[in-house]
Structures are given as C-alpha cells and as structure tokens.
C-alpha cells in the first residue's frame, strides 16, 4: 500500500498587492492589508495517487502560496476546518454501523510518513557483503547459472567491480577463487600458498582500496581434487583434525595478505578455536573470525559449485554440513563457536532458514550473518526474466525479510543492485 503525492504548480508572477479577504476558505477580516508576495496565475488540484486503487483522486486545495498563507494568518484569517463529508463508497457497499473497535492497527499504516516512522526493520548498503568470484585469467567470464555474475579477472575486473560496489556504499566483499585443476590436490596445499590467487587479490585490493573490509573463505573445496571441504580418506570419510590443521595454515596465509575477516565454511569440529590460536600465535589478534555456524547440506548451492567448478567428485557433504531437517542442532554449533572465539555467526542458506537466523539471534549476543546463496539469487533472477515476479521488488523484500529475521549482515550477489536502489539510483 503505497501512496505518492505530487503538486502540479502553475506559472508564477509577482503581484504588487494581495487582498486577503478575497481568498476562498479563509475567514473575512475587517482589516484589509496589501502585501507584496508571489501568487500563481493558475492553480491545479492536489493529486494523490494510491497504489491500492491505481487511480488518481482529486483533493481540493486553496491554491495559496506559502507567502499568501502567512499574510492571511497575520491578518487573522485562517482556513476553514476540513469538510466532514466522507468520500463515497462504490455502489452496492453495505451500510453498516462502525465496528466497536478500541484498536485499529490500520491507523498506523494510513500514510507513507506514518509507515516510514513505524518501520521496525531497515536495510542499508552497510548491511550488505558482496561475494565475488575470481580467477587467474584476464577476462571476466559470465557464469551461466548466475545471470549478472562473473568470474572476474583478478587484476582488472575485480578492481572495477569493487569500485562500482563502493560507489553505492557496499564496502565489504568476500572472495571465492576458481583454482586451475593443475593446482588442486587431495590435501589442498594450494590453499595456503602465500602467492596464490586469493592472497595476491587481497594485496592488490588493499593497496587500491585500503578502507574496504575483505572477508575470505576458509575451506579446502576450491583447492581439493576431490571437491570436498576436507581431506578425504581412502574409505571416503572426511578427516576432521587433519583438515583443521590445513585450515589454520590457510587462515594465517590470508591474514598475512591483509584479510580483515577469515570465514571457515568447512563445518569441521573445533576449527574456530584452532584458527583463533593460529592467528593469535602469528600476531593477527585483530583479524576476525566469521564462522559458518549453521551451514546446511542444501540443494540451493548448485550454481555456486558451477561458478567454482567445485562439485564433489563423489558422494555428498552430509557428514559435515547440517541436516536441513534439524533446528535445535544449530544451538549446539552456536554454543561451540561462541566458546571457541568466533566473532560473527553465519547461517547458510538464508531465506529457507529464516527460523534458524532468528534462533541464533535470540540465543547469542554476537553479530549474525546470513548468506543468500546462489540458488536463491538465481531463482529471483529467473523469475524476473520470465516476468513471473517483479525482480527488484522480490529481491528487496527477500533482503528485508532476512534482516527482519535477525541478520546484521547479508552476503548476497545482489548487494550492488540492492544498494543502487537504496541510494535512489537505477540498478543495472
């Protein structure tokens, strides 16, 4: 229910005197004064456009300028009270006595000003984190399953995309690398190569934009020849403690390059405390940890895995990512991550797990993050392309709902588009 008001003004010219007694809607005065001020040569009725009616309604106005109203007030002439006559209802509307209601919540929704004043949840560019895919090439490569997203060349395309994001107030990004197959291994050693793709990109970005906040992904799947988040034993089991050892080296490497927040997304047990100890031992006490606290084994990740070419070579990730059917289990992960020193707790995916976001919000004082994942993004894009939904409105509503559920920050591929709209600019 949106109401927009606009006033159509006529031409304006100077008049040398005004007879305040002659104005419609003003009480006549015994004293007549002449005042120099502005007066319209033509007045038009105030037009109110109501989205719920999708039509224009004319409202009578005195048509006086501010100066004329002031002059009339000085002369003691004030407008008459509004007419008590109510607008006509459509033919066939039943004639009923007003309901004896002591409370009518719609009173607080009757105008844009009131709705804005009482809005409980707000969204701004500072709440958004933009995930970016990078690769070793020079060209930006479109991602088929994610319209509008690219694997960015780390030297040029990445810098340009961050520049555009900063221009609309998005100053936080998270990096995801597409690693060449030749550099992948079963133990994912490329993850902690200090001259690898991610550390190089971090150093370049910090040199160009020292004030941006860079989040990184701490996990082995982009670097693993098996496509899993951890080291795979010969029987197919994911090795927990050995994987955590590798993740610690990866986090330290990223922190050394200038990362502000390292984000373990692997869901191994005990990795937050181990990474915190490793960072502190190397002098990186100021580097934050955003733990993927409740990361579910979701079907919404498909487009992301295409973007990074990181699908598991066999099996699935259900022995380390959470069961989508589980709710209370998120509290177990929350308590562990808090105790181990996490600075931010993240829920992934976002929209299908709003209840889990609220659960973490109600049970932790730490900042809560939510990841609007690739499948969520692509569904909204597809619906907009097929004209089944209004893409921009659905996008903005989805982000607002994630905030309402309790998320302080949202990782979303729509960050730049949403921020443009929030800034009053046309989105690309």
Which residues are tagged catalytic?
295, 348
Cα 396 off chain centre by:
7
- In angstroms, the CA 110 to CA 115 distance is 7
- In angstroms, the CA 345 to CA 343 distance is 7
- In angstroms, the CA 184 to CA 80 distance is 80
Side-chain half-sphere exposure of 220, counting CA atoms within 13 A: 31
Query: Which of helix, strand or coil describes residue 288?
Result: strand
Question: Taking a C-beta distance cutoff of 8 angstroms, is the pair 175, 191 a contact?
Answer: no
Q: Cα Rg for the chain, rounded, in angstroms? A: 30
Q: Beta strand pairing status for 172-177 and 238-239?
A: unpaired
92: region left, alpha or beta (phi > 0 left; psi from -120 to 50 alpha):
left
Q: Is the dihedral of CA 286, 405, 427, 381 positive or negative?
A: positive
Q: What is the 3-state secondary structure (H, E, C) of 188-242?
A: CHHHHCCCCHHHHHHHHHHHHCCCCEEEEEECCCCCECCCCCCEECCCCCEEHHH
How many CB atoms lie under 10 A from the CB of residue 46? 15
Q: Is the dihedral of CA 407, 410, 414, 419 positive or negative?
A: positive
Question: Taking a C-beta distance cutoff of 8 angstroms, is the pair 264, 291 a contact?
Answer: yes
Q: Which of 122, 139, 176 is nearest to 413 (CA)?
A: 176
Question: Taking a C-beta distance cutoff of 8 angstroms, is the pair 155, 120 a contact?
Answer: no
DSSP structure string for 325-373: T-STHHHHHHHHHHHHT-SEEEEESSGGGHHHHHHHHHH-SS-EEEEE-
């Amino acid at each position: 229910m949106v109401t927009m008001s606009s006033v159509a003004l006529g031409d304006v010219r100077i008049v040398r005197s005004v007879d305040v007694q002659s104005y419609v809607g003003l009480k006549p005065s015994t004293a007549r004064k002449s005042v120099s001020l502005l007066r319209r040569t033509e007045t038009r009725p105030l037009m109110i456009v109501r989205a719920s009616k999708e039509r224009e309604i004319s409202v009578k106005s005195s048509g006086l300028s501010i100066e004329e109203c002031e002059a009339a007030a000085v002369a003691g002439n004030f407008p008459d009270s509004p007419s008590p006559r109510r607008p006509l209802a459509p033919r066939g509307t039943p004639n009923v006595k007003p309901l004896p209601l002591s409370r009518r919540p719609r009173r607080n929704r009757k105008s844009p000003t009131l709705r804005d004043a009482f809005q409980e949840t707000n969204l701004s560019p500072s709440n958004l984190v933009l995930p970016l895919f990078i690769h070793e090439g020079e060209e930006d490569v479109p991602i088929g399953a994610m319209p509008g997203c690219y694997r960015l060349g780390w030297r040029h395309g990445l810098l340009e995309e961050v520049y555009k994001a900063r221009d609309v107030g998005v100053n936080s990004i998270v990096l995801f690398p597409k690693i060449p197959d030749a550099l992948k291994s079963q133990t994912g050693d490329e993850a902690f190569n200090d001259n690898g793709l991610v550390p190089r990109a971090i150093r370049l970005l910090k040199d160009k934009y020292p004030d941006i906040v860079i989040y990184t992904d701490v996990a082995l799947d982009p670097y693993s020849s098996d496509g899993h988040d951890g080291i795979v034993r010969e029987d197919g089991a994911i090795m927990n403690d050995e994987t955590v050892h590798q993740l610690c080296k990866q986090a330290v490497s990223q922190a050394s390059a200038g990362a502000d927040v390292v984000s373990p997304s692997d869901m191994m047990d005990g990795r937050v405390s181990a990474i915190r100890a490793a960072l502190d031992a190397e002098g990186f006490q100021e580097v934050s940890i955003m733990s993927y606290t409740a990361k579910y084994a979701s079907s919404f990740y498909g487009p992301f895995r295409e973007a990074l070419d990181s699908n598991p070579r066999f099996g699935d990730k259900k022995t380390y990512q959470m069961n989508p059917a589980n709710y209370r289990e998120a509290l177990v992960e929350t308590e562990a991550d808090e105790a181990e020193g996490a600075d931010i707790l993240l829920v992934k995916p976002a929209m299908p797990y709003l209840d889990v976001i609220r659960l973490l919000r109600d049970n932790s004082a730490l900042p809560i993050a939510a990841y609007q994942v690739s499948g969520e993004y692509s569904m909204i894009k597809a619906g907009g392309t097929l004209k089944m939904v209004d893409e921009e409105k659905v996008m903005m509503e989805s982000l607002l709902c994630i905030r309402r559920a309790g998320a302080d920050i949202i990782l979303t591929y729509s960050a730049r588009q949403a921020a443009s709209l929030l800034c009053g600019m046309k989105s690309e």
